Structure 1
Amino acid sequence: MLISPMSSYGRAKLLNLKPFTSSRPDKMKTLFVLVLGWCVISNCAIAQHKQNPSGTKIFFGEAEGQKIYQYTLQNSNGMQVKVINYGATITDIIIPDKNGEMGDVVLGFDSLSQYLSKDNARMGAIRGRVTNRIANNKFSIDGKEYKVITSKNGEVLGLNKRIWNIEEIPGDKEAGLKVTYLSKDGEEGFPGDLDLTVIYTLTNKNELKINYKVTTDKPTPVVLTSHSYFNLSGGKADKVLSTEMQFFADQYLETTNGGIPTGNLLDVKATQFDFTQPKQIGKRIADFNNGDGYDLTYVLHNQTGKLALAAIAYEPISGRVMKTYTTEPGVVFYTGNGFNDKVRGKGGKTFTKHGAFCLETQHYPDSPNQPKFANVILRPGEIFTSETVYQFSVRKY
């Protein structure tokens, strides 16, 4: 809580002092006490303000005749997370490096018009109803076939292009944002009214928590993820090839040339996909797919649906560490293979191939068509829930 200014009389009354009516020496003593008291009060107010995460918002533009706002969450360490209600998109994550210097560790844009463009790469947005790929743009539920709208490479379009409702959630030790969207029956070919709630929470432990809650009135598939592109150098390195990655996974999904899973799980041992121990992203990135880069789904050790550690990323220039925890069974690892200098991000800086990485925690791609994979069909009366946590820290050695 910040304390607003008072009159000299009000401050004197607060400190149980008399107003200025005595001789000059008494006035000086009174003034000294007033100043001292006001400093104590102000410092207490600032200290209390620092202890409690806070939130602000600014006007960010208009889309489809609706106002878009950018909300900023800030914790006691100065960490900031910024979110807009277009696509429920994370635009910024600003955290300190090993020297205490603040830096933005996610890619994004300066203006709403850039987020509205077809070249936005779904950057920072919530993706679904079914993220990633669906084979042949169709699936069946209870014997009925549904055809859905997808983009050219087979990835499903959707929630990243929608305007969400957003509201602040105040708290003593954490602050949050609640974003909601009702995806209507038939939207992009999917059945059922889907009621989505995503809660972003920033804690004083430098954790960004993302919690999902979804209900439906008809059976429908649900595979959601957050699609931020990370570069933990905070802009000091154009590529993420020196970033060390570790995945808590011994298997990955085999896929066709079009990226559709075959249903088989393959071992990472003795392959270029083996990150069971920390390894630089660039160490073997040129050993496959003509050096294009990583784009695969890891099968995590944790298949219980409970929150568990999925991955650790360490960036040596900044010393920043990001631990990813999730309740999801898989994580898609993508290294910005399609980036080029035609698209400019924050500050007019162009996106560089392998300039960032994604860790998309989710159920497996094409799950509605894969009987071997975990069920992703949500039915009336059921509640889909999921949680992912990005925890940030630094190493100073």
Structure 2
Amino acid sequence: MTDPQPTIDVEDFGHTPQGIATKLYTLTNRNGLQAKIADYGATLVQLRVPDRAGALADVVLGYGKLADYLAQSPYFGSIVGRYCNRIAAGKFSLGDQTYTLATNSGAPAAPCHLHGGDSGFDKKVWRAETLPDPAGPGLRLRYLSPDGEEGYPGNLDVTVTYRLTNQNSLRIEFRATTDKATVVNLTNHAYFNLRGEGNGDILEHRLLLNADSYLPVDAGIIPTGELRPVRGTPFDFSALTAVGARIDADDPQLARGSGYDHNWVLNKPAAADPYALAAKVVEPQSGRTLEVWTSEPGIQFYSGNFLDRSMVGKSGNPYGPRAALCLETQHYPDAPNQPHFPTTTLLPGEIFESVTSYHFGVE
């Protein structure tokens, strides 16, 4: 008997308000793991992985049809950019030129630019190309962001490639080039619940973050510029710790985020290759585990604090507070305004490249 072969299937996913048809691509590896990805927002719609008994469950929040993403989505599973996370006051400078972006988030007294603006990459229809491969099926998606879109300079040519390997990893590769100096920070905004989407909260998920420091934020959730040691604080996940163990501690930083919504400064190897373990999650009930490996310098851990049960997911269950966690690999928030942070500037002739893998197992 031969082993099952990886497959790629395509189906209709609905039309945008502009009448653009969208597609949903299903990648299945030889072990039966399955990822569904829409060309709208290059969105990870579904990810089915086994528990310790071999039973598959969908472990990412989201919807079963395009209309729900159009109506209300806090970036469920989407690629966000040009600049993921926040830019203070929606302004940055390159050389002697200052650029003004939408301030689509934050309090009235401290507005900021978030996740690419009013119509970021999560709201675009990407051009898709299937990548059949015996080692695991793939999907390449491309979007050309024109000069001036959402206030950003330069024509930015972006490619995102998803690969569902036979080693049970979902690998995400980013590549971008520009014809004018610009800033770039890209991530996937998947919301994970390893018990299964819509199945309770993530407070008992045990989390490890490979980071000795994190970025404290001001009242506008913008990094202050300090790299603060995690040791002795509720932000210390250097060993596996339940997400809920200290989430309600009396800490000003937790109060500002209504829980965890901060960027951790990842520990990196001394070798030239920056690809390293960023995070590990263990869900005790199902036995599912998730390891996050990345070439990025930071990871935003968001504990789903603002999910409010107004959104009903694929399971038919509403998503309440802390129904999922996000582990968004990226450069630091507000880096264009903080010169001592790793740069997010991309120049003509340069290539932005980044890779993140989500590896699933059981214990």
Please give the range of the TM-score, normalised by the shorter of the 2 chains. over 0.9
Matches within 5 A, 1:1-397: 43=1, 47-48=2-3, 50=4, 52-63=5-16, 64-117=18-71, 119-153=72-106, 154=112, 155=114, 156-157=116-117, 158-235=120-197, 237-287=199-249, 288=251, 289-290=254-255, 292-302=258-268, 306-395=274-363
C-alpha deviation, 1:78, in angstroms:
0.6
C-alpha deviation, 1:202, in angstroms:
0.6
String of CA shifts for 1:122-169, please: whole Å, max 9, x gaps: 110001101111011110001100001231322132110111011100
CA contact (8 A) 1:127 1:226 kept: yes
C-alpha deviation, 1:293, in angstroms:
1.5
Q: Match of 1:269, as an amino acid?
A: R
**After the TM superposition, which of the residue ranges 291-300 and 209-218 deviates more from structure 2?**
291-300
TM score, norm. by length of structure 2: 0.93
Pairwise CA RMSD of aligned residues? 1.3
> In 2, distance between residues paired with 1:184 and 1:65?
21
> In 2, distance between residues paired with 1:179 and 1:161?
14
> In 2, distance between residues paired with 1:265 and 1:167?
41
Runs of 4 or more, structure 1, over 6 Å off, are none
CA contact (8 A) 1:71 1:83 kept: yes
SS in 2 for 1:261: coil
C-alpha deviation, 1:236, in angstroms:
7.4
> In 2, distance between residues paired with 1:381 and 1:137?
26
CA contact (8 A) 1:234 1:318 kept: no
Q: Match of 2:192, as an amino acid?
A: F
> In 2, distance between residues paired with 1:143 and 1:338?
38
> In 2, distance between residues paired with 1:176 and 1:236?
27
CA contact (8 A) 2:60 2:197 kept: no
CA contact (8 A) 1:305 1:328 kept: no
String of CA shifts for 1:309-366, please: whole Å, max 9, x gaps: 0000000111000000000000000011101122211132101101100000000000
Q: Partner of 1:36 in structure 2?
A: none
> In 1, distance between residues paired with 2:345 and 2:197?
40
Q: Match of 2:84, as an amino acid?
A: T
TM score, norm. by length of structure 1: 0.85
> In 1, distance between residues paired with 2:133 and 2:292?
23
SS in 2 for 1:242: coil
SS in 1 for 2:354: strand
CA contact (8 A) 2:198 2:315 kept: no
SS in 2 for 1:210: strand
Structure 2: which 5+ runs fail to align? 107-111
Of the two structures, which has the highest relative contact order with CA contacts closer than 8 Å and spacing of 6 or more?
2
> In 1, distance between residues paired with 2:278 and 2:128?
29
Per the alignment, do residues 214 and 305 of structure 1 end up closer, same or farther by CA in structure 2, a change over 3 Å counting? farther
CA contact (8 A) 2:92 2:100 kept: yes
SS in 2 for 1:270: coil
String of CA shifts for 1:15-58, please: whole Å, max 9, x gaps: xxxxxxxxxxxxxxxxxxxxxxxxxxxx5xxx25x1x3110011
> In 2, distance between residues paired with 1:146 and 1:305?
33
Q: Match of 1:138, as an amino acid?
A: K
String of CA shifts for 1:54-112, please: whole Å, max 9, x gaps: 10011010112111111000011110001000000000000110011110000001211
Identity fraction in percent: 44
Per the alignment, do residues 236 and 184 of structure 1 end up closer, same or farther by CA in structure 2, a change over 3 Å counting? closer
Q: Match of 1:238, as an amino acid?
A: G
In the alignment of these two chains, the number of paired residues is: 347
Bigger CA radius of gyration? 1
